[in-house]
Amino acid sequence: MERIRMMIEIAICEDLKDDRDAIRSLVENEMQRRGVTCRIVTFADGEALLKTFSPQRYSLIFLDLILPGMTGMEAARKIRGLDPDCGIIFTTVTPDYALEGYRVRAVDYLLKPLDPQCLSDALDRFPPINNTEDELLIPISSAQSSQEVPVSIIDYAEISGNYLLIHIGGRVIQTYLSLRALESQLPQSTFVRVSRSHLVNMNSILAIDGDTVLLSNNHTLYISRRRKKQVQASFNQFLLEKAKEE
């Protein structure tokens, strides 16, 4: 394993595809310039964004104010009610809502088309982008390719026949790596085996309810009877350590 700068997840919510692609390209270039590794996901409306949202999932959200259905400001209020630390940068064609934007503690309010220098200045005002720490990468080979995957973006892994399926956001990597081999490369303080076939990133756990684990990607996994006490104890310790960090 090797270390890179911490992986962060960024969401872009913009209904116009051309604007969405342009913002994504600018953000990718700026993050690369800063040496920050990121995963970017895009949405065409606020409802779609909120369906995937959970506290501390996204470090930063670029949010258009004028969206179909729910407005960007309405989405921002809901996001801020769930996560006080998530960075929000509004993107729009009009400055009319700037004052209201700062009421939800937006990082900045950028006019489209985005200017690269204005974007850079906005990110300078958002400490989590500039205070990233080293994070582990693990090598994973599949039939299609070999890649190095940041530990933090793995939601869970499961055995399926002769394969191991590694779930990362909305995609799945299929590999011949054994679950035991993967587990040996991951920090025990963050990952827990909930059954013979499933290994879970505790950052992705929303709740443990009886014999099931509810994940932030809306997947539900069953906890084996003999592992139930250990899973609950590990998750309690994980939450305690996170509380200490805060």
Number of folded domains in the chain? Answer: 2
Question: Residues 120, 13: one domain?
Answer: yes
Containing H/E element for 129? helix 127-130
Question: Residues 45, 102: one domain?
Answer: yes
Instruction: Mention every residue, 6+ apart, whose C-beta is less than 8 A from residue 111.
Output: 91, 92, 93, 94, 95, 118
Could you give the CA distance from residue 59 to residue 195 in angstroms, rounded to a whole number? 30
- 10 Å Cβ neighbour count for 52? 16
- Which domain-ending residue is among 96, 130, 164? 130
Q: What angle do CA 114, 119, 120 make, to 5 degrees?
A: 150
DSSP letter string over 152-204? GG--EEEEETTEEEEEETTEEEEE---HHHHHHHS-TTTEEE-SSSEEEEGGG
Question: Residues 122, 8: one domain?
Answer: yes
C-alpha neighbours within 13 Å on the C-beta side of residue 198: 20
Could you give the CA distance from residue 242 to residue 238 in angstroms, rounded to a whole number? 6
State the pLDDT at residue 3. Answer: 41
pLDDT in tens, the chain (246 residues): 444 445 688 999 999 999 999 999 999 999 888 878 888 999 999 999 999 888 778 889 999 999 999 999 999 999 998 888 789 999 988 777 666 666 788 888 899 999 999 999 999 888 777 655 555 677 887 766 677 777 888 999 999 999 999 998 767 889 999 999 999 989 899 999 999 999 999 999 999 999 999 998 889 999 999 999 999 999 999 999 888 776
Question: Residues 81, 191: one domain?
Answer: no
Task: Write out the residue range of the structural domain in which residue 88 sits.
Answer: 2-130
User: In this structure, what DSSP letter does residue 226 have?
Assistant: G
Report yes or no on whether pTM surpasses 0.85: no
Question: Residues 125, 156: one domain?
Answer: no
Instruction: Mention every residue, 6+ apart, whose C-beta is less than 8 A from residue 239.
Output: none
